[in-house]
């Protein structure tokens, strides 16, 4: 068994990089889904999805996590 250790700064950097990548991919899905909702005559649902997505990282950063 091989154990790889990383210092805390490297671990945090890796976590932040992964979080940005996942958020970027989720953003593409959200835009596509919001457009589908809009095109299907559900502008309120599209706006709600967009609003919830837009709040996500800002609220997390504000809480310090």
Phi then psi for residue 40, to 5 deg, are -90, 10
* Total number of domains in the chain: 1
pLDDT at position 57 is 59
In a domain? residue 21: yes
Does 14 reside within a domain? yes
Which own/partner contact pairs does 4-13 have at CB distance under 8 Å and 24+ positions apart? Answer: none
Helix (H), strand (E), coil (C) string for the chain: CCCCCCCHHHHHHHHHHHHHHHHHHHHHHHHHHHHHHHHCCCHHHHHHHHHHHHHHHHHHHHHCC
The string of pLDDT tens digits covering residues 9-60 is 888 888 888 888 888 888 888 889 999 999 999 999 999 998 888 776 544 5
Q: Who's near 38: CB < 8 A, 6+ residues apart?
A: 46
pLDDT at 36 (0 to 100): 96
64 found inside a domain: no
Residue 65 covered by a domain: no
Would you say residue 2 lies in a domain? no
Structural domain span for residue 51:
8-55
């Amino acid at each position: 068994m091989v154990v790889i250790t990383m210092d805390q700064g490297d671990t945090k950097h890796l976590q932040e990089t992964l979080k940005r990548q996942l958020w970027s991919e989720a953003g593409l899905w959200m835009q596509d889904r919001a457009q589908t909702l809009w095109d299907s005559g559900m502008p309120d649902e599209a706006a709600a999805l967009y609003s919830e997505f837009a709040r996500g990282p800002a609220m997390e950063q504000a809480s310090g996590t």
